[in-house]
Amino acid sequence: AHRTCQRTLVIESIVEKLDIKQAFFREAEQIFGDDALLCTNTSTLPISRIAEALTHPERFGGMHFFMPVVDRTAVELIVGSETRAATTAACRSHVERLGKEPLVVGDCPGFVVNRLLSLYLNEAMLLLCRGVSAGRIEATALGYGMPISPLELIDWIGAPTMFDAGRVFWQAFPERIDPAPMLVAMIKNKRLGRAVSKGMYDYQDGQRDLELSPRTVEFSKRYCRQKIEFSDRQLMEIMTIPMWIEAALVLRSGVVDTYERIDFAMQGGLGFDSNAPWHSFFDS
């Protein structure tokens, strides 16, 4: 909890489960009183659904930070159906005090950044299960303008959070995603990500090993449906076109109102470099 504009601002960041978050905020509303502003760092759950548990949903909104937080300039501020303009304004001021840039978006599963990100990360895992090496996946991501491998980003996010976020996306848009089965194996085998030094990669003193973990390779082979040979251009298209489609759907649904806001979400939320030479993959 922080003091801001003479008011208490509470920011929650716990497991991505609707019932658990609702229980937390019911209690927080009692503890911090009628003057507090309550925010959730949920990456996918609709704000208005969480707010159903509150007596004062007008004092509630989303404040979604991105991983790794120190390197990402944007913070999504999600406006629920009952969120008051003054609540959003106070959240904007707090984000700016942190030296970050607010991205105000409408309420929907995944908002903007995770609507795009869920598909991108899932495609990376599916490619791994189709025989594509982690090195090629990383090279494709970096060539497109992403700052790190999508497999490494999964480790930053954490496999449990990745699973919960993917489930929310699948429940909302089941026709647009084919969930990668190896993620469940990662969780069952306690390869939960960077926080426990074991995920897609192994970590030594916070530093990622160069090669994928042997256990991750084992899981990718276990869930391999069919090995497929992809060209560099095909890999780029498979990893990125689903994001383009989702961006168009986000814009059409009014979650944001301009393409520039989506560009800012990509750059500030995902660290995308718009000057990367990715376009060479699409030269005819």
Residues assigned a catalytic role: 64
CA 231 to CA 223: how far, in whole Å?
22
CA distances from 225 to 129, 135, 146, 222, 231 (A): 7, 20, 27, 9, 19
Residues 6+ apart with CB under 8 A from 235: 127, 132, 136, 137, 140
Give me 136's structure tokens.
């090629």
Residues 6+ apart with CB under 8 A from 203: 155, 194, 197, 209
CA distance readout (Å), 38 to 7, 85, 121: 11, 14, 30
Both tokens assigned to 178: 């084919």
DSSP 167-194: HHHHHH-GGG----THHHHHHHTT--BG
Beta bridge pairs of residue 74:
101
